[in-house]
């Protein structure tokens, strides 16, 4: 298992390097940060001077190397836009995104699994079929539109929930949390629904189909033939087996939640890293973009690794080949 993890970590590091390289090659096309850093009355000379100062006149491979050099030491450079160390900015913004992702993730997983199990067990029930069809509405509209419609309904028309931001936050040793204030919790509702809806639908449908697959397995029939109670059959036997493939996808979805937070955060002005990234694109804040992409990759890779390790606990067979299709 240790060898396996080491190999995975090695692969992950490679993935990170590639992601970083690709990302860096992209930055040249996002635009030129210089115009955003200089005012209307700049001269061409100013532009060239600043460009040289930032090292933007060098080939991107060199820029990438310098970035890596710094990143290894935990130094992601200084934001062009804010003039502050990127690591500091990211740390400041991360709690907002992580809390949002966590709430949406938990909502998506809880409701996804519950509804998935329900629709699988009551496969032919009218209510289950209504849920199945209705759930598709959530994935048939773009997220940003759902967010805007939610704001329109619950903030503007009904005035129940705040239209943007995180509300009041409490600082817990560098981690600003919105969980401890009423306004913070209220502010979480709309964004987490917006963000979690898609993932919930996905998880629900996946759980349902995996569960149906499991329910027709011999060992489920055998469990029934032994007269086990439905609850035991469905949850102790079927759900546990269902979770094996589902966990991979959930792991990936958690990463996707953080990535999709870009859109939700833009719509709700949620002060997280996704919003930071979108702003960074707008202002071609290369150090921030690079660090964000690395952060996302690290998270993804970490989640994947975690999922792999989780397998060892869930599935005693320690199957060597889990990468096959579901």
Partner 1 sequence: MSDFPIPVKPKSRLRIALDSDLFYTFRRSPVAMVSAVVVLVLVLSAVLAPLIAPTNPFNPASLNLMNGFTPPMTPNAFTGESFFMGTDDQGRDVFSTILYGMRISLFVGVAAVFFAMVLGITLGLISGYVGGWTETIIMRTADVQLTFPSILVAMLIFGIAKGVTPVEYRDQMAIWVLILAIGLSDWVQFARVVRGATLVEKNKEYVQAARLIGRTPGAIMLRHILPNVLSPVLVIATISLALAIIAEATLSFLGVGAPPTQPSLGTLIRIGQGFLFSGEWWILLFPAVTLLALALSVNLLGDWLRDALNPRLR
Partner 2 sequence: MRRSLRLAAILAAFAPAVQAEEFTWAVNTDPQTMDPHAVNSAPVLGFLNNVYEGLVRRGKDMTVEPALATSWEPIGDGEGWRFTLRQGVMFHDGAEFTAQDVLFSYQRASDEVSDTRSWFSPISDVVVVDDYTVDFMTSAPNPIFPGSIANWMIMDSGWAEANNTALPDKENGNYATLNTNGTGAFRVTAREPGLRTVLEPFEGWWGEAEHNITRAELTPIQNPATALAALLSGDVDFINPVPIQDVARLAENPDVDVIQGIEARVIMLGFPHEAEALKYSSETTDTNPFADLRVRQAVAHAVNVPAILQTIMRGNAQEVSQLVSAAMQGYVPALAERPAYDQDRARALLAEAGYPDGFSFGLKCPNNRYLNDEAVCQAITGMLAQVGITATLDAMPVQNYWPELRADNYDMYLLGWSPGTFDAEHPIRFLAATPNEEKRLGSWNFGGFSNARVDELLPMIQSEIDAAARQAMIDETTKILQDEMAYVPMYVQPLVWGTRSNIELTQRPDNFFILRWVTVN
Partner 3 sequence: MADPVLSIRNLSVEIPTRHGIVRPVDGVSYDIQAGEILGIVGESGAGKSMAGNAVIGLLNPPAHISKGEIWLNGKRIDHLKGDAMRRLRGKEIGMVFQDPLTSLNPLLRIGDQLTETMLTHLPISRIEAEKRAVAALEEVGIPGAAERVNSYPHEFSGGMRQRVVIALALCAEPSLIIADEPTTALDVSVQAQIIALLRLLCRDRGTAVMLITHDMGVIAEATDRVAVMYAGRLAELGPVRDVLTHPQHPYTHGLMASTPIASQGKSRLHQIPGAMPRLDAVPEGCAFNPRCPHATDKCRQAPVPRVSNGQAACWYPLIDEKVI
Minimum CB–partner distance for residue 228 and partner 3 (Å): 6
For residue 213, the partner it binds in partner 2, partner 1, partner 3, none, with Cβ less than 5 to 8 A by kind, is partner 1
Selection from 264, 85, 272, 267 nearest residue 177 by Cα:
272
Q: Does residue 24 belong to the site contacting partner 2 (CB under 8 A)?
A: no
Q: Does residue 31 belong to the site contacting partner 2 (CB under 8 A)?
A: yes
- Closest to partner 2 by CB, 159 or 316: 159
Residues 89 to 128 in contact with partner 2, rule: CB under 8 A: 89, 92-93
Q: Quote the DSSP letter at residue 233.
A: I
Q: Does residue 80 belong to the site contacting partner 2 (CB under 8 A)?
A: yes
H helices of the chain, in order, are: 2-30, 34-37, 44-54, 60-72, 86-121, 126-139, 143-150, 182-215, 218-225, 230-231, 240-268, 273-282, 286-314
Minimum CB–partner distance for residue 106 and partner 3 (Å): 24
Q: Does residue 83 belong to the site contacting partner 2 (CB under 8 A)?
A: yes
Q: Does residue 184 belong to the site contacting partner 2 (CB under 8 A)?
A: no
**Which DSSP string corresponds to 192-226?**
HHHHHHHHHHHHHHHHHHHHHHHHTSHHHHHHHHT
155/33 Cα distance (integer angstroms): 36
Selection from 254, 147, 157 nearest residue 191 by Cα:
147
Stretch of 65-73, 113-121, 270-278, 295-303 lying at the interface with partner 2 (CB under 8 A): 270-278
For residue 122, the partner it binds in partner 1, partner 2, partner 3, none, with Cβ less than 5 to 8 A by kind, is none
Minimum CB–partner distance for residue 212 and partner 3 (Å): 12
Residue with tokens 């949620």: 270
For residue 110, the partner it binds in partner 1, partner 3, partner 2, none, with Cβ less than 5 to 8 A by kind, is none
Q: Quote the DSSP letter at residue 78.
A: B
Instruction: Using the CB atoms, write b or e for 15-26: b if 16+ within 10 Å.
Output: ebeebbeebbee
Q: Does residue 50 belong to the site contacting partner 2 (CB under 8 A)?
A: yes
The binder of partner 2 chosen from 12, 75, 155, 181 (CB under 8 A)? 155
Residues 224 to 243 in contact with partner 3, rule: CB under 8 A: 224-230, 232, 236-237, 240-241
Q: Does residue 282 belong to the site contacting partner 2 (CB under 8 A)?
A: yes
305/319 Cα distance (integer angstroms): 16
For residue 54, the partner it binds in partner 3, partner 1, partner 2, none, with Cβ less than 5 to 8 A by kind, is partner 2
The binder of partner 2 chosen from 59, 74, 159, 316 (CB under 8 A)? 159
Q: Quote the DSSP letter at residue 304.
A: H
For residue 259, the partner it binds in partner 3, partner 1, partner 2, none, with Cβ less than 5 to 8 A by kind, is partner 1
Q: Does residue 218 belong to the site contacting partner 3 (CB under 8 A)?
A: yes
- Closest to partner 2 by CB, 148 or 247: 148
Minimum CB–partner distance for residue 28 and partner 1 (Å): 6
For residue 83, the partner it binds in partner 1, partner 2, partner 3, none, with Cβ less than 5 to 8 A by kind, is partner 2
Q: Are 139 and 199 in contact (CB under 8 A)?
A: no
Helix (H, G, I), strand (E, B) or coil at 241: helix
**Angle formed at CA 100 by CA 97 and CA 106, multiple of 5 degrees:** 130
Contacts for 317-324: CB closer than 8 Å, 24+ residues apart? 318/1, 322/248
Q: Does residue 312 belong to the site contacting partner 3 (CB under 8 A)?
A: no
316/326 Cα distance (integer angstroms): 18
- Closest to partner 1 by CB, 16 or 176: 16
Interface with partner 3 (CB under 8 A): 124, 217-219, 221-230, 232, 236-237, 240-241, 244, 314-317
């Amino acid at each position: 298992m240790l060898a396996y993890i080491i190999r995975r970590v090695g692969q992950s590091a490679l993935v990170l390097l590639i992601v970083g390289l690709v990302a860096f090659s992209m930055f040249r096309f996002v635009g030129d940060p210089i115009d955003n850093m200089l005012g209307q009355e700049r001269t061409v000379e100013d532009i060239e001077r600043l460009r040289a100062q930032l090292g933007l006149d060098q080939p991107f491979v060199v820029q990438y190397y310098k970035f890596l050099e710094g990143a290894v030491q935990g130094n992601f450079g200084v934001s062009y836009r804010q003039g502050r160390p990127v690591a500091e900015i990211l740390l400041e913004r991360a709690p907002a995104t992580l809390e949002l992702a966590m709430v949406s993730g938990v909502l998506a997983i809880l409701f996804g699994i519950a509804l998935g199990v329900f629709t699988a067990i009551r496969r032919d029930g009218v209510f289950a079929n209504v849920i199945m069809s209705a759930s598709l509405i959530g994935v048939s509209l773009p997220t940003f539109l759902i967010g805007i419609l939610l704001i329109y309904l619950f903030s503007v028309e009904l005035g129940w929930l705040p239209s943007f931001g995180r509300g009041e936050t409490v600082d817990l040793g560098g981690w600003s949390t919105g969980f401890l204030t009423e306004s913070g919790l209220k502010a979480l509702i709309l964004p987490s629904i917006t963000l979690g809806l898609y993932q919930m639908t996905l998880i629900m449908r996946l759980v349902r189909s995996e569960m149906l697959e499991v329910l027709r397995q011999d060992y489920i029939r055998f469990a029934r033939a032994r007269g086990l109670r439905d609850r035991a059959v469905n949850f102790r036997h079927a759900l546990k087996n269902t979770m094996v493939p589902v966990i991979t996808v959930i792991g990936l979805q958690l990463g996707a939640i953080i990535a999709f937070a870009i859109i939700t955060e833009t719509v709700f002005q949620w002060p997280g890293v996704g919003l930071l990234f979108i702003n960074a694109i707008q202002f071609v804040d290369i150090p921030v973009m690079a660090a964000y992409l690395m952060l996302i990759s690290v998270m993804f890779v970490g989640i994947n690794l975690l999922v792999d390790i989780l397998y060892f606990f869930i599935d005693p067979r320690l199957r060597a080949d889990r990468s096959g299709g579901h």
